[in-house]
Amino acid sequence: MPDPRLELYIPEPRHRPGDRPSFEHLALPVAGETRRPDVLEEESAMRDMPFGLVRVLDEAGQAVGPWAPDIAPDLLREGLRAMLLTRLFDDRLFRAHRQGKTSFYMKSLGEEAIGAAQAMALSAGDMCFPTYRVLSWLMARRYPLIDLVNQIFSNEKDPLKGRQLPILYSARDYGFYSLSGNLGSRFGHAVGWAMASAYRNDDKIALAYIGEGSTAEGNFHEGLTFAGVYHAPCILCITNNQWAISSFSGIAGGNETTFAAKAIGHGLPGLRVDGNDFLAIWAATRWAAERARANRGATLIELFTYRAAGHSTSDDPTKYRPSDEAEAWPLGDPIDRLKQHLIAIGEWDEERHAALAEGLDNEVRAAVKEAEAVGTLGKSKPSVREMFEDVFETPDWRLIEQRRELGI
């Protein structure tokens, strides 16, 4: 007789600090293995896709299989530039935080391919609804570095007027919706925005990001419901970087099925994509965009990646996961992989790479210097008048009185 007593199950990650990290249990498909359905394929014929893994770059850096895109080397170099710039910018601004120049910072380390590839795969009029780890979108769209640093320093020239925590950018003209520290709460905005585009018979589509941890939020499920019901022209992306601060993906349900498979219950196509493979992300995003623009509605894409750095400047990941776990990640580093590919096809070399890195680092250094001249956090700030603006379109008597009470 089996023991009749019930037992509460609490999932745990395979490795904790001190353990030897291994990801062998993932049994990931190799590059080229997962099929590419026709863009107009019926959803009901694609329910295997959430359990595959769209990969293009193989171990040797060659683009292989049905998803290998026809993409010009110039575009690949542009992507490499955006990713490298993101990493160099992150390094320098992370250090600026350590030096007391700002209050907070978050890196995209290991996830740089996502924003860069998707910014380049979509059109200028499209809108992404970002998480805080897609800085590479702004880099690919060539958002001015100086504006980023001024925002991070909350100084007089901060484009967000001193109101937002560092890195919670907003850049409408660059297709980058206003970030918030509340997780997942903009996921449904992307769906509404996409519905509005369809309502007006425009051709713009939305791209939403949510972390795998936040897929547990109601926002995620409501967003999928509305996207499914109204065939909203959008791409709904889960960046599964395995960790939500200290909670592994199993705490968000990742042990039970894939995150991409959450699409099935909503009647949406779900793709699982190698999130460290620039070409795979670009190709999958193009596929979903083409489908959305053809009035076939939304696609859910799980971008399978790894958060190689801590959650933020307030986090020490060695407290909850092996310190060498990032090195064991089987999908490698996104910058190294794109670089390897460009070299493999004869479009890049180590010298050019070193020169690019040096040039970009100089750009970052110059932007930081310029922003420092305006002032770091606490040394310079926008007019305090800005505290009372934009609460409403026109301030009401309370705000006017309170501003006067403060003497301005």
Give dist(CA 339, CA 271) in Å, integer.
Answer: 25
Closest approach, Cβ 38 to another protein, in A, equals: 29
| CB of 88 or CB of 145, closer to another protein | 145
Q: Which H or E element spans position 337?
A: helix 334-344
Q: Is the dihedral of CA 21, 117, 229, 210 positive or negative?
A: positive
Give dist(CA 137, CA 83) in Å, integer.
Answer: 9
Closest approach, Cβ 274 to another protein, in A, equals: 29
Closest approach, Cβ 106 to another protein, in A, equals: 17
Give dist(CA 215, CA 254) in Å, integer.
Answer: 10
| CB of 26 or CB of 196, closer to another protein | 196
Report how far apart, in Å, the C-alpha atoms of 139 and of each of 9, 90, 119, 296, 307 are: 43, 12, 9, 30, 19
**Amino acid at the residue 315:** D
| CB of 76 or CB of 171, closer to another protein | 171
Report how far apart, in Å, the C-alpha atoms of 287 and of each of 76, 114, 283, 284 are: 18, 15, 6, 5
Q: Applying CB under 8 A, which residues contact another protein?
A: 159-161, 163-164, 168, 170-172, 177-178, 180, 182, 185-197, 199-200, 206, 218-219, 222-223, 225-226, 229, 389-393, 396-397
Closest approach, Cβ 303 to another protein, in A, equals: 21
Radius of gyration of the chain (CA): 22
Number of neighbours of residue 231 by Cβ within 10 angstroms: 17
Task: Identify the DSSP state of 295.
Answer: I
Task: Identify the DSSP state of 292.
Answer: I
| CB of 234 or CB of 360, closer to another protein | 234
Closest approach, Cβ 51 to another protein, in A, equals: 27
3-class SS of residue 238: strand
| CB of 68 or CB of 377, closer to another protein | 377
| CB of 192 or CB of 322, closer to another protein | 192
Closest approach, Cβ 55 to another protein, in A, equals: 32
Closest approach, Cβ 121 to another protein, in A, equals: 21
Give dist(CA 282, CA 271) in Å, integer.
Answer: 13
| CB of 35 or CB of 142, closer to another protein | 142
